[in-house]
Amino acid sequence: MVLHLLTQGATLRLRQGRLLLEMEGALLNSYPARQVRQVAVWGNVRLSTPALTFLLRQGIPVLFLSTEGFLYGVAASFPDPHPEHLRAQFAQDPLPLARAFVLGKLRTARAMLERLGLPGLEAVEEALAQAQTASHLDALRGAEGFGSRAYFGGLSQLLRPWGFQGRSRRPPKDLVNAALSYGYALLLGRALLAVRLAGLHPEVGFLHAEGRRNPALALDLMEEFRIPVVDQVVITALRRGQLKPEHGEPRNGGVYLTEEGKRALIPLLEERFHQEATHPLRFRKTYAELLDTQAARLKAAIVKREPYTPYYLK
């Protein structure tokens, strides 16, 4: 069970083996504590010390996110990375792994445009060719950016009725971008957990620029999963009417999901994490398991045990 705590001003407490969500002394919900596997705290929701201590002692990670969909960080009991693995991560040539992340993302973008019958395929193919031959990181990042713009340009043909004209963030300019940003924040939290549990340093990335308190490696890993996990869910939810125009509200110069919109989107994302997919190496796992598997395989590649094959849709 994954708990998403959305009620602003509420407090999560531990009492007699249950986690209780309360607001000013009134009980909002009650959960069996030992069935909880992860907690996502959205905005101003408090955890009592006994509740947080219980979660940490049980190895249950707690994600802290803003109401707009920004990941602040993760609280959990992680094992310390092995020194040899850290040395290998710092010594790794970034280009081969960065190329794998980009190729995985662009191959999935190509597959998605093909499935939906949207324009932009030729540009994505061109970006793939550029990525395969890029001789340095700046060229690779340029190919990724070119392919991403082509992909979102194609999506705009489908999503224009919801105001989507391309990717925008900080702030998102329409309902589609608001939902994408919200989903990406949740995905980043999952990727950060996978990287930490694999025993890797989350700030030492290969595609994304490194920086203090910037989880570059988690951002690298999530590139493979943005489209099949988040984009697919958002597109389907819009087309089925599960996400509606009234689920977006103008605020602070942008458009953000309403509380109803968040409550509509989160269960769909959680359902997607538990759907099975086939890896290019022909094994099947849920998307949640694939994130952990790819993090473990990434560590194996870093310490020179085996090559790294990105996940992508065919």
Residue 301 has what pLDDT? Answer: 95
Residue 108 has what pLDDT? Answer: 98
Q: Residue 306 — pLDDT band, cuts 50, 70, 90? A: confident
Residue 213 has what pLDDT? Answer: 72
What architecture does CATH give domain 83-302?
Up-down Bundle (1.20)
pLDDT digits over 88-118, tens only?
A: 999 999 999 999 999 999 999 999 999 999 9
Beta bridge partners of 30: 20
Query: Taking 90 as the threshold, does the pLDDT of residue 210 lie above it?
Result: no
| Binding residue positions | 144, 208, 223
Q: Which residues make up the CATH 3.100.10.20 domain(s) of the chain?
A: 2-60
Query: Taking 80 as the threshold, does the pLDDT of residue 26 lie above it?
Result: yes
Of 47-56, 148-157, 242-251, 302-311, the poorest mean pLDDT is in 302-311
Across the range 201-217, mean pLDDT stands at 88
Residue 237 sits at φ, ψ, to 5 deg, of -65, -40
Across the range 277-288, mean pLDDT stands at 96
Q: Where does residue 46 fall: left (phi above 0), alpha (psi -120 to 50 degrees), or beta otherwise? A: beta
Query: Taking 90 as the threshold, does the pLDDT of residue 252 lie above it?
Result: no
Query: Taking 80 as the threshold, does the pLDDT of residue 211 lie above it?
Result: no
Tokens linked to 111 = 């597959």
| Binding residue positions for Mn(2+) | 144, 208, 223
Q: Which residues make up the CATH 1.20.120.920 domain(s) of the chain?
A: 83-302
∠ CA 303-310-147, nearest 5°, is 125
Residue 80 has what pLDDT? Answer: 82
Q: Which fold has domain 2-60?
A: Ribosomal Protein L15; Chain: K; domain 2 (3.100.10)
